[in-house]
């Protein structure tokens, strides 16, 4: 059973995955009438959202991966402003930022047009069907639980479903009906909420094919979504790496005092600069290997299993093996693809990432 978060203040607070929480679950006031809903510790599916208030008006940035998590967030929002949010922004297409959308009935739901297109690639009902058929492997990335053993469908790689099932255990996708945005935009869009204005800015492709950040200029706060993973390793499904660096430069130029990442604690420019440094490292140490003809999984393992790696600041971030997916996506772009990594390529990358995760753990255990 996944651990549950209780109100018992004597119990140590746990993350959804059962780890001691590094920061508090719930709403944090980032600036006046501007709130971040944080889910510690920012690991898989532990995504953040935002709440921007003006009088009796509220806008939410991102729903969460399932209905229970989203409902909990909405119930807490009512304690801040007792109205139904009139607008929801989906920053990108990943389920952990979208699949709670159905709880926002009557609200405007806004996303970039590319993000909306990508949302239909991961259909909750198809993923549920995988339990029996395994035919929707193209949509992997959000497997239902519980899974045991492995599946092997034709040409597709064997996936370590027992491990993946454990990672997905805290989430419940049974009641989800994919609810798509009602409005889309390309580039930038200003959205009024009461007498405030927020700016939606597409900065991708980077993490996915369509990434939007929410800039709140009256308080200098940037909801950076999955352009920023703080204390966790970023995972790149689209890229290329250079484009992610450009996205970081773009948000850095906004002049934000505080950033709310898609995963992890609220941060300032110093932490953003470190994420940029990570991608500079991926570019100089990883992408250069691809240019020499090294296969992406091998290139990632060369870095992750080296003794130098353990000295780097990001060696302590959650899930360093995500570099495998990042370099597979980079190779995908180098091979001439324009969109993000999908289908068999995506399944292969995930399988290799899981295997690399085990290899890193084994190496660290040996010391
Ligand atoms: Zn996310």
Q: What is the CATH number of the domain that holds 49?
A: 3.60.15.10
In a domain, 19, yes or no: no
Q: Encoding tokens for residue 81?
A: 């402003």
Please say if the pLDDT value at position 129 is more than 90.
no
* Reported pTM: 0.90
Which of 364, 321, 357, 16 lies closest to 160, judged by CA? 357
Please say if the pLDDT value at position 95 is more than 80.
yes
Please say if the pLDDT value at position 289 is more than 60.
yes
Average pLDDT over residues 198-217: 97
Distance 228 CA to ligand 1 centre (A): 9
Say how many domains are in the chain. 1
pLDDT for 117: 93
Distance 93 CA to ligand 1 centre (A): 9
Please say if the pLDDT value at position 81 is more than 70.
yes
Q: Which residue has the higher pLDDT, 299 or 350?
A: 299
In a domain, 207, yes or no: yes
Distance 150 CA to ligand 1 centre (A): 25
pLDDT digits (tens, 9 = 90+) for 8-39: 555 679 999 999 999 999 999 999 999 999 99
Distance 268 CA to ligand 1 centre (A): 19
pLDDT for 123: 64
In a domain, 256, yes or no: yes
Domain that holds residue 224: 26-121+175-366
Distance 97 CA to ligand 1 centre (A): 6
User: Is 282:328 a contact under the CB 8 Å cutoff?
Assistant: no
pLDDT for 102: 97
Distance 318 CA to ligand 1 centre (A): 14
pLDDT for 11: 62
Q: CA angle 327-336-273, nearest 5°?
A: 40
Which of 72, 46, 71 lies closest to 170, judged by CA? 46
In a domain, 16, yes or no: no
Arithmetic mean of pLDDT over the chain: 88
Average pLDDT over residues 175-185: 94
Distance 367 CA to ligand 1 centre (A): 31
pLDDT for 241: 98
pLDDT confidence bin for 7, thresholds 50/70/90: low
Which of 235, 236, 223 lies closest to 262, judged by CA? 223
In a domain, 134, yes or no: no
In a domain, 185, yes or no: yes
In a domain, 132, yes or no: no
In a domain, 7, yes or no: no
């Amino acid at each position: 059973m996944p651990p549950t978060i209780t109100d018992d203040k004597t119990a140590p607070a746990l993350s959804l995955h059962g780890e001691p929480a590094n920061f508090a679950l719930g709403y944090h006031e980032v600036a006046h009438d501007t709130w971040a809903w944080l889910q510690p510790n920012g690991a898989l599916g532990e995504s953040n959202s935002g709440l921007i208030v003006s009088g009796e008006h509220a806008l939410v940035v991102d729903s969460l991966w399932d209905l229970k998590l989203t409902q909990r967030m909405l119930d807490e929002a009512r304690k801040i402003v007792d109205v139904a949010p009139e607008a929801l922004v989906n920053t990108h297409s990943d389920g952990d930022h979208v699949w709670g959308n159905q709880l926002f009935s009557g609200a405007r739901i806004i996303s970039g047009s590319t993000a909306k297109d990508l949302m239909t690639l991961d259909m909750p009902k198809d993923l549920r069907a995988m339990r029996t058929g395994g035919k929707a492997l193209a949509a992997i990335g959000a497997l239902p639980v519980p899974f045991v053993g492995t599946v092997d469908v034709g040409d597709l790689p064997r996936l370590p479903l027992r491990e993946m099932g454990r990672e997905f255990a805290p989430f419940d996708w049974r009641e989800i009906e994919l609810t798509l945005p009602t409005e889309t935009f390309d580039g930038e869009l200003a959205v009024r909420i009461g007498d405030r204005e927020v700016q939606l800015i597409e900065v991708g492709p980077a993490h996915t094919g369509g990434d939007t950040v929410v800039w709140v200029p009256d308080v200098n706060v940037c909801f950076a979504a999955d352009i920023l993973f703080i204390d966790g390793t970023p995972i790149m499904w689209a890229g290329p790496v250079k484009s992610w660096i450009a996205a970081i430069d773009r948000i850095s130029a906004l002049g934000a005092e505080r950033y709310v990442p898609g995963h992890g604690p609220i941060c300032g420019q110093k932490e953003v600069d470190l994420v940029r440094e990570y991608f500079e490292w991926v570019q100089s140490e990883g992408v250069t290997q691809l240019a020499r003809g090294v296969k992406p999984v091998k290139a990632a393992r060369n870095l992750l299993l080296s003794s130098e790696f353990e000295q780097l600041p990001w060696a302590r971030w959650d899930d360093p093996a995500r570099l495998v997916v990042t370099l597979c996506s980079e190779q995908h772009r180098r091979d001439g693809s324009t969109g993000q990594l999908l289908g068999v390529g995506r399944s292969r990358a995930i399988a290799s990432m899981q295997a690399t995760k085990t290899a890193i753990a084994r190496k660290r255990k040996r010391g």
